[in-house]
Structure 1
Amino acid sequence: MEAIYIMGILTAIIALGEILSITSKAKIPTLLVVIGTVFILLQTGVLPESYIEASTFVAAGSVLVPVLIVHLGTLIPLSVLKKQYKAVLITLIGLVISVVTMLTLITLIFDYNTAVAGAGPLTGGIIAYIVTAEGLTEAGFTTLAAIPVVVFALQNLVGMPLTSILLSKYAVTIRDDLSQNGAEESGESSDPMMSTKTKKLIFPDRIMQSDFFILFLLFIGGVAATWLGDVTGINYSLWSLAIGVTGSALRFYPDRALDKANSTGLAMVALIVVVISSLVGITWDQVVSSLLAVIVTIIIGTAGLMLGGLIGGKIFNWKPTKSIPVVLTALYGFPGDYLIVEEVSRSVGRNEEERKRIMDELVAPMLIGGFTSVTVGSIVVASILVGTL
């Protein structure tokens, strides 16, 4: 099948997810629909694995990942980023409590090796999954190798709906506060994100009118981040975020750079295709054979994350409906955290002013929480745990 037909199928599934998300007011996240639908189609043979592998968008999405993360850095002004230390600490509290809970309870129910097999992937994304799977194989625990695969595939089915429900409740309080206090007063709590001043860039305005030039600048950042990752051994996503934040602060990048280049939509589609490509190779047999351990791992691990979010929220005086979702980003990371905030703001906000206020207040802590857990915390957790096997 030609690539255009494959992408027609995949974009139809993504569009279905968007429609269900909009009609359900973000209670059914887009990625949940996409992942569930693609998994069923793969297992029934309706969508052969070779179709997704043949999609050129998988390669395109992989190339765009560092570019998108640089773009994310331009979403959050440095003044706001400095204020997000609470999101970082709350996320770390959640990770520690979740890991300790899993290592204790799952070891009692099954064994320590099973606990390790599930703990790494549950606290983060694909890199933690790869580290855990490779560690299990090298240690000779091949019978447990299916656990991290299935945990990685299914954990977002729990994390995303919980996040959407809790964030929607918190978004209502933002909306009501805006209605009661007025735009001017409520906007004072998020001045950096609400600022409408045009930032003077180091490049002439006439050049920055070019979508292609902005994309070129973003790709410079992506290339530099990838090179730095190879040279230093520090994951490229951290470099991408740092380059985006620093570049925005130094006025090298415009705010919301990818939006200014009118390229966000297509880039996000490519990234979603990369996400669903991770489902290739997962079989019903793998799911069935490891289902009990996976279910126990997800329940205990998620409960630990939520408990950590609750405790962290109490310490830093955050409402549970805000602190718990920030920690739950460990279950899905980027782009899920960004997409859910976007869906919630679009669904709960009754006008553009309310939607912008909700987006501005939630996007920074959610993205920082996701990067803290998926990009940093989970890799550290997985690397340490597999070393104990």
Structure 2
Amino acid sequence: MIMEPIFIVLIIMFIIALGELLSLSSRARIPTLLVVITVTFILLQTGVMPETFMESSTFLAVGAVLVPVIIVHLGTLIPLSVMKQQYKAVIITLIGLVVSVVSILSVVTILFDYHTAVAGAGPLTGGIIAYLVTSDGLAKAGFTSLVAIPVVVFALQNLVGMPLSSILLSKYAKTIRNDLPQNSSHAPQEVASTVEEDMQNMLFPTTFMRSEFFILFLLFIGGALAVFLDHLTTINYSLWALAIGVIGAAIRFYPERALDRANSTGIAMVTLIVVVISSLVGITWGQVVSSLLPVIIIIFVGTCGLMIGGMIGGKLFNWKPTKSIPVVLTAMYGFPGDYLIVEEVSRSVGRNEEEQKAIMNELVAPMLIGGFTSVTVGSIVVASILIGTL
């Protein structure tokens, strides 16, 4: 009876909910996925959770089907109008990603090997999809001994990126506080209203776009097309799915934030997390221990690369490093960490409501766009290209 899918899913949901509650109570200092990965790994290693649990839950098959659909959705997250407004944050973030990846590939290849460098570069420069692309690619290429590296990098990078961002943004926030008259910025409300989707002028009638099922159908069309193009061209489906989402949103085939409009984001992310933790099956404690040294070096070199890229990009647009570097470091944690850090910094540095609002207005837009650029777009491209070189 205990192996019934509903009971297995209940256990998995408990682990995810526990991670979410700890993340919320710590204001994202304890990342949800760090808790989920750690607890699941311990349960697998101790035998409390048999390795057959994941497959028996049936969520694994659902998650595998939804991955290309979710990537199409990611392509609809950032309206081109917002990208144009925050083009400096986009360019600075991309420079940081390039410098970080080149640094990892150069240094880690010399110290270990190229495959180890690839195993860490994708997850460090992005989020959950980049991790999935990397781990899946390593497994398909036969490098099963390296699968522990992206897991550990993915789990630990938040613990480095978030404190660094908070320290640097706090310093920059003091300059905003001390120079309010000369500070001009975009208000959070403006960003929100820009991102807020206009359901008019879609390719399909407005009545169709009010149907959650119709939007899901459109997303599945994009996901299926991406997989078909993968088989046709050998270019990874994640790149196709991302391009389909971006182009589809631009030509109004998809609404912005498509999965949100279909009220399906929550269940989709749960199945995605199940796919992530299923990659822990077969990984031994010995593999994790043996991966710690390369992981530490990957995180150190990659973080230095992001910071150097942030300084270069900041100098290009006359941004202070205390602003440009945190924008790039969002690659290590993404949303909602980027928003929570800005909120916390504005509240702790601002001495009154006016100062807090000024700090929030100045920082929230570039930090959010930096995170979306790296985690949503840049890292998927990086991971997909690198895996293709194995």
Q: Same fold (TM over 0.5)?
A: yes
Q: Which residue is equivalent to 1:370? A: 375
Cα deviations across residues 186-240 of structure 1 (Å, max 9, x unaligned)? 3269956642573412222222221111111111111122212221222111221
Q: CA deviation at 1:81?
A: 3.8
Q: Contact 1:121–1:132 at 8 Å: present in 2 too?
A: yes
Q: Contact 1:150–1:294 at 8 Å: present in 2 too?
A: no
Alignment partner of 2:75 out of 65, 73, 76: 73
Q: Provide closer, same or farther for how the CA distance between residues 256 and 282 of structure 1 changes in structure 2, counting only shifts above 3 A.
A: same
Q: Which residue is equivalent to 1:141? A: none
Instruction: State how far apart, in whole Å, the 2-side matches of 1:186 and 1:62 are.
Output: 41
Q: Which residue is equivalent to 1:187? A: 186
Structural mapping, 1:289-308, within 5 Å: 289-308=290-309
Q: Contact 1:313–1:319 at 8 Å: present in 2 too?
A: yes
Alignment partner of 2:108 out of 90, 102, 109: 102
Q: Contact 2:69–2:223 at 8 Å: present in 1 too?
A: yes
Q: Which residue is equivalent to 1:210? A: 211
Instruction: State how far apart, in whole Å, the 1-side matches of 2:380 and 2:7 are.
Output: 34
**Given the alignment of the two structures, is residue 220 of structure 1 paired with residue 221 of structure 2, yes or no?**
yes
Cα deviations across residues 27-48 of structure 1 (Å, max 9, x unaligned)? 1111111111111111111111
Q: Provide closer, same or farther for how the CA distance between residues 71 and 135 of structure 1 changes in structure 2, counting only shifts above 3 A.
A: closer
Identity of aligned residues (%): 46
Q: Contact 1:66–1:222 at 8 Å: present in 2 too?
A: yes
Q: CA deviation at 1:161?
A: 1.8
Q: Provide closer, same or farther for how the CA distance between residues 380 and 262 of structure 1 changes in structure 2, counting only shifts above 3 A.
A: closer
Corresponding letter in the other structure for 2:33: L
Q: Contact 1:98–1:302 at 8 Å: present in 2 too?
A: no
Alignment partner of 1:90 out of 78, 93, 96: 96
Q: Which residue is equivalent to 2:233? A: 232
Q: Contact 1:79–1:192 at 8 Å: present in 2 too?
A: no
Q: CA deviation at 1:312?
A: 4.4
Instruction: State how far apart, in whole Å, the 1-side matches of 2:345 and 2:307 are.
Output: 23
Q: Provide closer, same or farther for how the CA distance between residues 329 and 51 of structure 1 changes in structure 2, counting only shifts above 3 A.
A: farther
Q: Which residue is equivalent to 1:258? A: 259
Structural mapping, 1:207-356, within 5 Å: 207-318=208-319, 320=321, 324=325, 337-338=334-335, 340-341=337-338, 344=341
Greater mean alpha carbon deviation, residues 341-350 or residues 45-54 = 341-350
Alignment partner of 1:31 out of 33, 41, 56: 33
Instruction: State how far apart, in whole Å, the 1-side matches of 2:155 and 2:262 are.
Output: 32
Q: Provide closer, same or farther for how the CA distance between residues 13 and 55 of structure 1 changes in structure 2, counting only shifts above 3 A.
A: same
Q: Provide closer, same or farther for how the CA distance between residues 235 and 174 of structure 1 changes in structure 2, counting only shifts above 3 A.
A: farther
Instruction: State how far apart, in whole Å, the 2-side matches of 1:29 and 1:194 are.
Output: 28
Structural mapping, 1:31-180, within 5 Å: 31-81=33-83, 83=87, 84-104=90-110, 106=111, 114-124=112-122, 125-129=131-135, 131=137, 146=145, 148-168=146-166
TM-score (norm 2): 0.78
Q: CA deviation at 1:157?
A: 2.7
Q: Provide closer, same or farther for how the CA distance between residues 339 and 36 of structure 1 changes in structure 2, counting only shifts above 3 A.
A: farther
**Given the alignment of the two structures, is residue 13 of structure 1 paired with residue 15 of structure 2, yes or no?**
yes
Cα deviations across residues 351-388 of structure 1 (Å, max 9, x unaligned)? 9x99999765434322322356543334444555x5xx
Corresponding letter in the other structure for 1:376: V
Instruction: State how far apart, in whole Å, the 1-side matches of 2:166 and 2:174 are.
Output: 10
Q: Provide closer, same or farther for how the CA distance between residues 316 and 41 of structure 1 changes in structure 2, counting only shifts above 3 A.
A: farther
Instruction: State how far apart, in whole Å, the 2-side matches of 1:329 and 1:230 are.
Output: 33
Q: Contact 1:128–1:379 at 8 Å: present in 2 too?
A: yes
Q: Contact 2:109–2:116 at 8 Å: present in 1 too?
A: no
TM-score (norm 1): 0.78
Q: Contact 1:93–1:312 at 8 Å: present in 2 too?
A: no
Instruction: State how far apart, in whole Å, the 2-side matches of 1:376 and 1:20 are.
Output: 31
Corresponding letter in the other structure for 1:198: D
Instruction: State how far apart, in whole Å, the 1-side matches of 2:214 and 2:343 are.
Output: 30
Q: Provide closer, same or farther for how the CA distance between residues 292 and 344 of structure 1 changes in structure 2, counting only shifts above 3 A.
A: closer
Q: CA deviation at 1:86?
A: 3.3
Q: Which residue is equivalent to 1:109? A: none
Q: Contact 1:118–1:294 at 8 Å: present in 2 too?
A: no
In structure 1, the residue corresponding to 2:206 is in which secondary structure?
coil
The CA RMSD over aligned residues, in Å, is: 3.7
The unaligned stretches of length 5 or more in structure 1 are 107-113, 138-144
Cα deviations across residues 267-313 of structure 1 (Å, max 9, x unaligned)? 11111111111111001232345554554455445444544444444
Q: Provide closer, same or farther for how the CA distance between residues 311 and 36 of structure 1 changes in structure 2, counting only shifts above 3 A.
A: farther
Q: Provide closer, same or farther for how the CA distance between residues 215 and 40 of structure 1 changes in structure 2, counting only shifts above 3 A.
A: same
Q: CA deviation at 1:159?
A: 0.9
Q: Contact 1:193–1:360 at 8 Å: present in 2 too?
A: no
Q: Provide closer, same or farther for how the CA distance between residues 213 and 379 of structure 1 changes in structure 2, counting only shifts above 3 A.
A: closer
